[in-house]
Structure 1
Amino acid sequence: MPATATLDTMGTSPVPPSLDTGARRGAEPGYRVIRRNGGLTPFDPTKITVALTKAFLAVEGSTAAGSRRVHDVVEDLTEQVVTALTRRVGEGRIFHIEDVQDQVELALMRGEHHKIARAYVLYREERARERAAEKAAAVEQAAPSLHVKAEDGALLPLDEARLARIVDEACDGLDAVSAQPILAEARRNLYDGITLDELSLAPILAARTLVEQEPNYAFVSARLLLDRLRREALSFVSGRTELATQADMAKRYASYFPDFVKTGIEAELIDPELGRFDLARLGAALKPERDLNFQYLGLQTLYDRYFLHTRGRRFELPQAFFMRVAMGLAIREIDREARAIEFYDLLSSFDFMASTPTLFNSGTTRPQLSSCFLTTIGDDLDAIFKGIKDNALLAKYSGGLGNDWTPVRGLGAHIKGTNGESQGVVPFLKVANDTAIAVNQGGKRKGAVCAYLETWHVDIEEFLDLRKNTGDDRRRTHDMNTANWVPDLFMERVEADAEWTLFSPDEVPDLHDLYGTAFRAAYEAYEAKAAAGGMKVFRKVRAVDLWRRMLTMLFETGHPWITFKDPCNIRSPQGHVGVVHSSNLCTEITLNTSRDEVAVCNLGSVNLANHVTEKGLDLDRLARTVGTAMRMLDNVVDINFYTIPEARRSNLRHRPVGLGLMGFQDALQTLRIPYASDAAVQFADRSMEAISYHAISASVDLAAERGRYPSFDGSLWSKGILPIDSIRLLEEARPGVEMDAASTLDWEGLRRRVKTTGMRNSNTMAIAPTATISNICGVSQSIEPGYQNLFVKSNMSGDFTVVNAQLVHDLKMRGLWDEVMVSDLKYFDGSVGQIDRVPDDLKALYATAFELDTAWLIEAASRRQKWIDQAQSLNLYIANPSGKKLDELYRLAWRKGLKTTYYLRSRSATHVEKSTLKGTDGKLNAVSAVVAAAPASQPIVVNPDAAWGKACAIDDPDCEACQ
């Protein structure tokens, strides 16, 4: 196909004006293409348009190629190619001509232009053979020497030996990896005058394309990124260009560390108090070998968002980062060096990881370390706009927000001051939504807030519509999360198919603070009053109809989430001093709020994967981890930088913390337990029991050392009622609760200690989503089942190929891991369930989230909930949703005693590209695909008569839960 020849120089050659059939976009600013001769030219998308037009001309003839249809198709294909190239290349802004052609091939196949693609692939193969022959026939001559442009602009000879040494070192000690393909691909992308940054990127990008073939290349990629980071950080603190290998860091880390602290203090990023630690002692305690434990996704995330930097240059290395966080948490300890080393050892081992705000801000000049803030909004303009201002102040330093909006009077309610009628709660929610976007957590991640409303509020139906993409945009909140705060009485009315009455809170002010039998009595009295004509604003609805609409909106928009008011309050240890009016941004925090108190919670998570062996749970190691972690979390209460006084008052009075877990799925796979099994439910029970036991015991130990929390007297703790005991209180208020109450540890002895010694913390446990910190540690998120065994994860740091390394290990042991298996995993969206040659035991062990019966997730969550004094972020996965399934699912969650639920997940729109080309990261072998082409999976769209819309898409880079 001679007309296709211009594809060989696509994006680089001059454009014949007569062939430019589309609108000229011109050179893409800042992007360049490496040609096969090593030359570097600006990237011009119009060349792709021209080449594609010629391809259609060669295959379909001049008439077809000149049609409006082909014109539009070519423009669309060009846009796809440019988007894919610029997204994948990231900050390097340089790609090889082969990369351009690979993306063209992929775009043609996705568009199902199979004839064009086939001709193009055959042409590329023919040209590759011609080039190889020309190269073999050519007179041998020395390869041109390449130069590297230093930061001062000087051109220095490329140190090939160092490049090879760095790649060899990155591969050292890892099975099934090789330096050769990395070096070959890296050298292919070098050019004369390449910058130091581009040179450091080349092997990283080369290594990460191999992750799908061998998961250990994720470690190789991370180690290559470390080389770049070392140059950046060491050069910055020393004031001169400095290169160091991993072997060099065995000695260099200790001397670098005091310089790092000094640099941070001078830049006004590190608290000067850290400079008064014994820095030599702490530097000597650093463990450089732990830098090798990172996978690429984790280290790149730290590099992009966590490491301290000034003027865009990072000067914080990983072990210095963990020590800085540890020092910040130990700053008020008596022997603070010893405690800092203890905390550092726990963090850097990945046994425990503090939450993102703690990692961002510990040891800095503004140590806002808390994760979650819960507020109640009052029913007047001063209170409403104070609440919105508080949101801005709390979000500024990376706090996630949960707002209780129930007290705000509803639409049509009387306003005494103006003798007018209220517009209801929705217009103010719009302002809160826009505030969250404006204050984007210090520029580090998107602002995040969740609004809660009780199901009896007269504005509840408008509240349900907030996330819809249709209707009056002034009454929509496209960026705010929302959640229903559901009383048990409503669920009982749903079960009985009875009526439900909606009220404006200004006429029923006490309902907000009531729950259980007291709520029932007051609510029924108000219904009687309304029936007698004593209410101005109320409306009766069929409870089932409202429930159906709640589930409809949850399914269509992902919101509002379903959370249950009564179990949150009845089982709360702090019912004697207030009421839980909402949960937080991620539905795991259940703390009291009022106009005078803003609830604060300090989070961190145990890495359960590090505490199991094939023999079972390592209880001794778990006890040590939990003991140290609880001390770290308790320290946050005193160290924390509070942006509003209500938050400080509340946190010092109650001292709540939220110890959670992550790596649950990894732990199950180590134990060879399928998620959908009784054994997994039992493990969820026993592991959470152990964490609960040691967390409560550690809080008692802290109380003995530091004193009880001020509001202890009168709490459930003071009465010897532990979380496992509070199930009885829920059963008394709501007969028929289906919660297991079995236990295995010495709870009676702990009960006596709690009553006599007291607790340091009003609340001790909450299971957060751990979306980012689990990436840092390289384990599965929170209590989640595996999403897919091979997929592309998108977050604020880019796109990353993620492979289940344990699955790969098992397949290798059975001789099943090969290119065909990689291709099959891609074709079946990371699932082994449909791959015939995978044994049934592995299909069960590695079943993905959408292959599980969701009832298993709820049963496991119920077993955990019995041990937790707060709640858990529980995502629910449904592959083929229907209205009936959703109804059964959420009623089951209520009956099983769950306090909250989180996202309803459907299949993702982000899938692994269907590829079989070895050594690629998202490229398509069109020859194979022509034979068996299949479109990428799409988000589920369900018949509205069978269900009601579509659920939340997983892996949203802008979503707090996915970060």
Structure 2
Amino acid sequence: MQTPTIAESRPEAVPPSQPSSKEQAQATGQWHNFNIIRRNGAVVGFEPSKIAIAMTKAFLAVNGGQGAASARVRELVDQLTSQVVNALVRNRPSGGTFHIEEIQDQVELALMRSGEHDVARAYVLYREKRSQERARAGQQEPAVEKSTLNVNDNGTMRPLDLAKLRTTILEASQGLPIEIDVDGILKETVKNLYDGIPVDEVYKSAILSARAMVETDPAYSQVTAGLLLHTIRKEVLGQEVAQSAMNEGYAEYFPRFIKAGIENSLLDNKLSQFDLPRLGRALKAERDLQFNYLGLQTLYDRYFLHVRGRRIELPQVFFMRVAMGLALNEIDREARAIEFYEILSSFDFMSSTPTLFNSGTLHSQLSSCYLTTVSDDLEGIYDAIKENALLAKYAGGLGNDWTPVRALRSHIKGTNGESQGVVPFLKVVNDTAVAVNQGGKRKGAVCAYLETWHLDIEEFLELRKNTGDERRRTHDMNTANWIPDLFMKRVMENGDWTLFSPSDVPDLHDKYGTEFEKAYTAYEAKTVSGELPLFKTIPAISLWRKMLSMLFETGHPWLTFKDPCNIRSPQQHVGVVHSSNLCTEITLNTNESEIAVCNLGSVNLAAHLKQDASGQYVLDHEKLQRTIDTAMRMLDNVIDINYYAVSKARNSNVRHRPVGMGVMGFQDCLHLMRVPFASDAAIEFSDRSMEAVCYYAYWASSKLALERGSYASFKGSLWDRGILPQDTLAMLREQRGGYVEIDDSSSLDWDTLRSHIQQNGMRNSNCIAIAPTATISNIVGVSPCIEPTYRNLYVKSNLSGEFTVVNDYLVRDLKERGLWDEVMVADLKYFDGSLARIDRIPADLRELYATAFEVDPQWVVECAARRQKWIDQAQSLNIFMAGVSGKKLDDTYKLAWLRGLKTTYYLRSSGATNAEKSTGRGGELNAVSNGSSSSAAAAAPAAALPEAEVVGAVCTMRPGDEGFEECEACQ
């Protein structure tokens, strides 16, 4: 195999802001800000074209000259080169320096991810061979004398202060449960330096050096965060400040921050009216040390305010800014701001991303979700699209109810023509979501809902397919089925199903339960008599199979259930729930004059466990109640402070005042309690923990009603009638005529709460909704919402870069049993973070740390069903499934309906078997798979879906994929 040398001369490339393709790179010749450090310490220019040469040589070694010259290989090399360049420059938009080993690591990773395992193996073996040859023959060029290195400090050359650098690394390593290899990090840092390097690059090198060790122990993630914190302090404060001096530093800087934010038109001038010295003194610098690297880097990249690219926020300043923005209308603003700051900065509770982005700013769009109903006329349709754009501008996620829009071939009275149906308008919605990208912070996000009886439903199911007429495809938006119970009963009973145009059956849109069933069967009778000529009758099971097949193939439409959302809605006296939201956890009424709005935030369940006398972890009810009392007040405040781009949203939100408090860290709790996810004990904890969260939330809202008054539409609601969410299960069972199988047990004093609500009212029409928490759980450093562990070791890629994620609970257990070593790290990499086939790990640990795709989805559904009993809205419930089959899909989603679930979210799937991997060298950061699938499933009837095929199209994003957090627009 020939030497795959990479990047040793000046390039011709795209500007750093557009490192998206090799062709652009070669065309524009602007890589002058990027350099490479060779193994002898020499610095040369970065030339991306050499990466393509190296990869081509690797293919030559495996496939020979003819194979490597094929069009497929040439195209693949171009794609992989772009991936490598993107990965390298993602965190260095203004330029930077790479070590030759870092580039080769990225090449190796790209080859592995592409499924070219033979080529990757050859590349790995070649690198190892060359390394051994250099070691044996002493051929490595003499290293630069590190002690004589100079650094460029704002144009001034000075010697590198190794002692100071070591002290900085040492400070970042304090208070951790293991002894950190400070000298190892220092040595690796210096290895990547060159004479005249900018001083900022020195600390970037230290961060990269510490980051590379995360896979050896999760504690290195906090070391890396500490080093990043040092660079953030230098950027914000203009000088290097030790963490130990930051209590005084925060107090001194905080008033200056408020002033700067107001002067630069970032912050609301009302913030200057607070007692800023008092708030500055309340900031707790030690809480900076809670962050892991992913959490802090995420805040830095996407949340901290900046002026002309320079950050002006530090972590505790950020949390206080958010708290102040939520306390603007409080009587004792300072006390409330400090109260809000306490639960945010301690990670007990975290507001949703729009609130974190915009609280205290001039555009305080703090709400997460908007639900709209689209009317059946051209003006209404385009008004709805305009409203989408306005609401998405400041980070709102959208759910659109398109059921009222007439179907294809329906008569249009005004033009005496035929309708083109729903689909062409959805293409416009799709393109609007792409165009309005929330200020570049994350992608615009919308989900379209359609009821299962709509005559366009079959074409709606195919919107996300990669084949067919592109004018009738929507690749950038989400879709969801809004399924009546009658359809599910027809599926269960093998009956027929009739499709209608809503222009012929307009009342079906607003009916549910037995009323819907009566009206629907009457319309079916009219098709028989000839009174309704436009319809289609098909076997219900055939449509169900197509729904599951499209879910398997494209990840859409999601399956959501209309009747439980309405029958169990506290607000059924004033309207109908016509859809859910972008992430399927919000179930609020909409109509042509009301846009439903929901404000989100999540309690960190893991922070509310305590050890009892026996050392077992149990729920800390006292702390949980305190946190929820404060959190509900914060969420209620959002309603009055929020910026509303559309008056219909303001009117609805002020009238009903819904909020959606959720949870995260459920899997962390199970790990602390030593409870496997796939167990009855996990189902019981799901039941009891959610009961407690809902109990305290409903109490908090009722107490707020005493202080502030009930929401305007309280009279006549289920709350007012003494009917609580768990009581509505009987109503659902009655309306369905059975088909509801769920445990009804409870453990808290609900009768006293019921009486309090009837006597004093509720401040909020709805209180609980479990959102995905994809990003805020990263900030806090816990597992997302209610999901099982994705993998025990993997690389997470997002807009902030690539991050090795290691299950620290597992590492702790393996250390206690003497099993944590380099071989274990290599095994975890090889088996994609799964313990199932690592024989030396005891069976109890394999069960406890089973990953999402190893937990049968029925356990996930059962846990969710126990939660849904208590929740007045819904939950974002991802279904993880290994080895997808038609029967497994059928069983899982039927079970979800039978257990009374209101909605489901993504189907996330993996193959039943793993592809063989090449053996890599231990220790590389990027040697871990990120979980991307290697092939897409072909369309197939659900009953015949393959049992052991790798599925790549089942969901558009996975927890390890770049942009995963950005597709979860709620949080």
How high is the TM-score relative to the length of structure 2? Answer: 0.92
Q: CA deviation at 1:157?
A: 3.0
Which of the numbers 710, 713, 725 marks the counterpart of 2:712?
710
Change (3 A) 1:853 1:597: same
In the alignment, what sits opposite 2:695? 693
Task: Tell whether the 8 Å contact from 1:409 to 1:425 is kept in structure 2 after alignment.
Answer: yes
Q: Distance in 2 between matches of 1:913 and 1:154?
A: 49
Q: Distance in 1 between matches of 2:520 and 2:52?
A: 67
In the alignment, what sits opposite 1:441? 438
Q: CA deviation at 1:247?
A: 1.3
Q: What is the 5 A alignment of 1:616-695? A: 616-695=618-697
Which of the numbers 517, 530, 533 marks the counterpart of 1:533?
530
Task: Tell whether the 8 Å contact from 1:53 to 1:65 is kept in structure 2 after alignment.
Answer: no
Q: CA deviation at 1:155?
A: 2.6
Task: Tell whether the 8 Å contact from 1:907 to 1:939 is kept in structure 2 after alignment.
Answer: no
Q: What letter corresponds to residue 962 of structure 2 in structure 1?
A: P
Secondary structure of the equivalent of 1:367? coil
Q: Distance in 1 between matches of 2:511 and 2:58?
A: 71
Determine if the alignment matches structure 1 residue 944 to structure 2 residue 940.
yes
In the alignment, what sits opposite 1:954? 958
Determine if the alignment matches structure 1 residue 12 to structure 2 residue 5.
no
Q: What letter corresponds to residue 122 of structure 1 in structure 2?
A: K
Which of the numbers 112, 117, 121 marks the counterpart of 2:118?
112
* Cα distance per residue 1:851-881 (max 9 Å; x no partner): 1111111111110001000000000011011
In the alignment, what sits opposite 2:16? none
Q: What letter corresponds to residue 342 of structure 2 in structure 1?
A: D
Change (3 A) 1:68 1:551: closer
Change (3 A) 1:300 1:105: closer
* Cα distance per residue 1:687-708 (max 9 Å; x no partner): 0000010000000110000001
Which of the numbers 457, 469, 475 marks the counterpart of 1:472?
469
Q: Distance in 1 between matches of 2:919 and 2:317?
A: 40
Task: Tell whether the 8 Å contact from 2:108 to 2:123 is kept in structure 1 after alignment.
Answer: no
Q: Which moved more, 1:935-944 or 1:672-681?
A: 935-944
Task: Tell whether the 8 Å contact from 2:56 to 2:77 is kept in structure 1 after alignment.
Answer: no
Task: Tell whether the 8 Å contact from 1:906 to 1:940 is kept in structure 2 after alignment.
Answer: no
Secondary structure of the equivalent of 2:90? helix
Secondary structure of the equivalent of 2:725? coil
Q: Distance in 2 between matches of 1:781 and 1:913?
A: 29
In the alignment, what sits opposite 1:123? 130
Determine if the alignment matches structure 1 residue 886 to structure 2 residue 889.
yes
Change (3 A) 1:887 1:715: same
Q: Distance in 2 between matches of 1:206 and 1:656?
A: 47
Change (3 A) 1:284 1:116: closer
Q: Distance in 2 between matches of 1:919 and 1:317?
A: 32
Q: Which moved more, 1:866-875 or 1:125-134?
A: 125-134
Determine if the alignment matches structure 1 residue 500 to structure 2 residue 493.
no
Change (3 A) 1:120 1:246: closer
Q: Distance in 2 between matches of 1:345 and 1:710?
A: 31
In the alignment, what sits opposite 2:924? 920
Q: What is the 5 A alignment of 1:759-798? A: 759-798=762-801
Secondary structure of the equivalent of 1:490? helix
Q: Distance in 2 between matches of 1:142 and 1:387?
A: 66
Change (3 A) 1:286 1:355: same
Q: Distance in 2 between matches of 1:617 and 1:934?
A: 33
Task: Tell whether the 8 Å contact from 1:906 to 1:954 is kept in structure 2 after alignment.
Answer: no
Secondary structure of the equivalent of 1:641? coil
Secondary structure of the equivalent of 2:796? strand
Q: What letter corresponds to residue 881 of structure 1 in structure 2?
A: V
Give the number of equivalent residue pairs.
931
Structure 1: gaps spanning 5 or more residues: 16-21, 236-241, 925-932
Q: CA deviation at 1:589?
A: 0.2
Q: What letter corresponds to residue 398 of structure 1 in structure 2?
A: A
Q: CA deviation at 1:535?
A: 1.3
Task: Tell whether the 8 Å contact from 1:850 to 1:907 is kept in structure 2 after alignment.
Answer: yes
Q: What letter corresponds to residue 87 of structure 2 in structure 1?
A: R
Q: Distance in 1 between matches of 2:654 and 2:59?
A: 71
Q: CA deviation at 1:527?
A: 1.1
Q: What letter corresponds to residue 314 of structure 1 in structure 2?
A: R
Identity fraction in percent: 60
Task: Tell whether the 8 Å contact from 1:826 to 1:913 is kept in structure 2 after alignment.
Answer: no
In the alignment, what sits opposite 1:83? 83
Q: CA deviation at 1:540?
A: 1.1
Secondary structure of the equivalent of 2:244? coil
Q: What letter corresponds to residue 796 of structure 1 in structure 2?
A: L
Structure 2: gaps spanning 5 or more residues: 12-21, 611-615
Q: Distance in 2 between matches of 1:421 and 1:477?
A: 23
Determine if the alignment matches structure 1 residue 749 to structure 2 residue 752.
yes
Q: Distance in 2 between matches of 1:528 and 1:142?
A: 90
Change (3 A) 1:836 1:406: same
Q: Which moved more, 1:826-835 or 1:75-84?
A: 75-84
In the alignment, what sits opposite 2:235? 232
Q: CA deviation at 1:106?
A: 5.9
In the alignment, what sits opposite 1:807? 810
Q: CA deviation at 1:53?
A: 7.0
Change (3 A) 1:472 1:79: closer
Which of the numbers 848, 853, 874 marks the counterpart of 2:851?
848
In the alignment, what sits opposite 1:382? 379
In the alignment, what sits opposite 1:857? 860
Determine if the alignment matches structure 1 residue 574 to structure 2 residue 571.
yes
Secondary structure of the equivalent of 2:36? strand
Task: Tell whether the 8 Å contact from 1:197 to 1:228 is kept in structure 2 after alignment.
Answer: yes
Q: CA deviation at 1:616?
A: 0.7
Q: CA deviation at 1:142?
A: 6.0
Task: Tell whether the 8 Å contact from 2:320 to 2:341 is kept in structure 1 after alignment.
Answer: yes
Secondary structure of the equivalent of 1:41? strand
Q: Distance in 2 between matches of 1:107 and 1:575?
A: 53
Determine if the alignment matches structure 1 residue 487 to structure 2 residue 491.
no
Q: Distance in 1 between matches of 2:345 and 2:699?
A: 24
Task: Tell whether the 8 Å contact from 2:224 to 2:292 is kept in structure 1 after alignment.
Answer: yes
* Cα distance per residue 1:84-141 (max 9 Å; x no partner): 2540453333211233344556677745145675355323321234447875xx9xx9
Secondary structure of the equivalent of 2:586? coil
Over the residues paired in the alignment, what is the CA RMSD in angstroms? 2.7
Q: Distance in 1 between matches of 2:76 and 2:381?
A: 47
Q: What letter corresponds to residue 741 of structure 1 in structure 2?
A: D
Task: Tell whether the 8 Å contact from 2:56 to 2:68 is kept in structure 1 after alignment.
Answer: no
Q: CA deviation at 1:37?
A: 3.5
Change (3 A) 1:71 1:154: farther
Q: Which moved more, 1:437-446 or 1:96-105?
A: 96-105
Q: Distance in 1 between matches of 2:932 and 2:765?
A: 49
Secondary structure of the equivalent of 1:717? coil
Determine if the alignment matches structure 1 residue 723 to structure 2 residue 721.
no
Task: Tell whether the 8 Å contact from 2:498 to 2:524 is kept in structure 1 after alignment.
Answer: yes
Q: Distance in 2 between matches of 1:438 and 1:116?
A: 41
Task: Tell whether the 8 Å contact from 2:558 to 2:906 is kept in structure 1 after alignment.
Answer: yes
Secondary structure of the equivalent of 2:875? coil
Q: Distance in 2 between matches of 1:55 and 1:859?
A: 49
Secondary structure of the equivalent of 1:775? helix
Change (3 A) 1:414 1:936: closer
Secondary structure of the equivalent of 1:91? coil
Q: CA deviation at 1:711?
A: 0.3
Change (3 A) 1:116 1:164: closer
Task: Tell whether the 8 Å contact from 1:915 to 1:923 is kept in structure 2 after alignment.
Answer: no
Task: Tell whether the 8 Å contact from 2:326 to 2:641 is kept in structure 1 after alignment.
Answer: yes
In the alignment, what sits opposite 1:737? 740
* Cα distance per residue 1:253-287 (max 9 Å; x no partner): 10000001101000110101001100000000000
Task: Tell whether the 8 Å contact from 1:829 to 1:911 is kept in structure 2 after alignment.
Answer: no
Determine if the alignment matches structure 1 residue 280 to structure 2 residue 277.
yes
Q: CA deviation at 1:74?
A: 7.8
Task: Tell whether the 8 Å contact from 1:325 to 1:358 is kept in structure 2 after alignment.
Answer: yes
Q: Distance in 2 between matches of 1:942 and 1:740?
A: 39
Secondary structure of the equivalent of 2:410? strand
Task: Tell whether the 8 Å contact from 2:722 to 2:757 is kept in structure 1 after alignment.
Answer: yes
Task: Tell whether the 8 Å contact from 1:583 to 1:589 is kept in structure 2 after alignment.
Answer: yes
Q: Which moved more, 1:25-34 or 1:533-542?
A: 25-34
Task: Tell whether the 8 Å contact from 1:642 to 1:648 is kept in structure 2 after alignment.
Answer: yes
